[in-house]
Amino acid sequence: MASPIGGTGTLTGPIVRAQAKLRYSTVTPMKARRVVDLVRGLPADEALATLRFAPQSASEPVYKVLESAIANARYLAQQRNERLDVEDLVVSAAYVDEGPTMKRFRPRAQGRAYRIRKRTSHITIHVESWSADAETQATKRSVPKRVKATPRVVAPSAGSVKDDAKPAAKAAAKKTAAAPEAAEKPAKKTAAKKTSAEAPAKKAAEKAVAKSAENAPAAKKTAAKKTAAKPAEPEVENSTSEETEGGTR
């Protein structure tokens, strides 16, 4: 959380501001910065809880520095005869500077020397307690610009209700007028489909009738040829029958 003090100078700033610094810490700057980034901008009590349960080894010296900064803030508030609680403090700034590096050497193979760099760091933490006006101003600045207030819901008046009812009635009338037309269109489409489906059957029947009409004269001709080609059978007199008839007579 950033400090509410702006460039305009309208705010008086925090009531109490204190800092604590640990110099020549044996923790490397990279490891210390990893822990310091966890508590920057948090309330003091929440930052203490975070550091108490952090698994990093650098959390212990950073925790002690934060406790010292809180104690310094309480001391300043006591000198001013002001009441100060831990909940009122915020970690306004926390950073780590690199200290001097101690060089040590270890013997290696073939008479070589291996260099060991023992790095140190300076850990600094600032805490602040804000006034009520400064805190409200800070919360306003922390809200992003794209967040907009919810629009007010205004109850519609009687005139506006009537005006809204007219377009609704017109739309209903249009729907009722368009309903029969929409019902007729599918019926026309089905009738057209039926006629298009019956047309090939009619054509096939007409073709069959035409073929039968064409085949009828040919059938008659073939029948006449067959009858003409058959020879006439000779009439054989039955002499025996006549003789029998004469003898009986």
Interatomic CA distance for residues 77 and 66, integer angstroms = 17
The answer to whether position 88 is within a domain reads yes
Considering the domain architecture, whether residues 36 and 122 belong to the same structural domain is answered as: yes
- Inform me whether the pLDDT recorded for 51 exceeds 80: yes
Q: Which pairs count as long-range contacts for 172-180, CB under 8 Å and 24+ apart, including other chains?
A: none
The answer to whether position 131 is within a domain reads yes
99 Cβ neighbours under 8 A, 6+ residues apart: 23, 24, 25, 29, 119, 120, 121, 122
- Inform me whether the pLDDT recorded for 153 exceeds 50: yes
131 Cβ neighbours under 8 A, 6+ residues apart: 12, 14, 15
Range of the domain at 51: 16-105+114-142
- Inform me whether the pLDDT recorded for 28 exceeds 70: yes
| Chain segment 208-223, per-residue pLDDT in tens | 777 777 766 666 666 6
The answer to whether position 47 is within a domain reads yes
Global pTM reads 0.50
Interatomic CA distance for residues 64 and 39, integer angstroms = 13
| Chain segment 88-118, per-residue pLDDT in tens | 899 999 999 999 999 999 999 999 999 999 9
Domain count within the chain: 2
Q: What is the pLDDT of residue 6?
A: 41
